[in-house]
Amino acid sequence: MLFLCFVVIISSCAGGVKSSIRKSDIVIQTAKSYLGTPYKYGGTTRVGMDCSALLYHSFRSVNLKLPRTSEDQSKLGAKINIKDLRPGDMVFFATGKGKNDITHAGIVTAVMGNSDIRFIHASTSLGVTESNLFSTYYIQRFKRAKRVL
């Protein structure tokens, strides 16, 4: 009888325990599992993927279904000022000929200071990699940041 009471007490306590893993951590862990995946325009698998597929799969890991293109993804969520970025936020860039056309996207992985914000993305030359948002190339092409979590 004492054993049964102990089991009931333990099981009732376990129901109130919340996971310490945030959704943003799961998204980032999922994205990082693709590090080294080659870039492929329109690709959606570990054989090759583009930047919007990386976001699509990463956010899908927390049951958030994003559109398939960077342009459409950039229309979701709350607009975030660059100084308020946190891990899990999405960042969008105009890397093509159109200076305002969203053509590239990534997920913030770490905020290390005012001039060091890391994001993961699928680079055409490096595949899935992490970069500093404040590198000359990316900060000049940065257009907006959005938060969906």
CB neighbour list of residue 69: distance below 8 Å, 6 or more residues apart: 52
Residue 104 annotated to the active site: yes
- Of 5, 13, 57, 104, the active-site residue reads 104
- Please pick, among 5, 13, 51, 57, the residue that the annotation labels catalytic: 51
Q: Which entry of 5, 13, 57, 121 is annotated as an active-site residue?
A: 121
121 included as an active-site residue:
yes
For 22-54, give one letter per residue: b (16+ CB within 10 A) or e.
ebbebbbebbeebeebebbeebeeeebbbbbbb
Q: Which of 39, 21, 29, 139 is nearest to 91 (CA)?
A: 139
Structure tokens of 108?
A: 């913030």
Q: Which residue numbers are catalytic?
A: 51, 104, 121
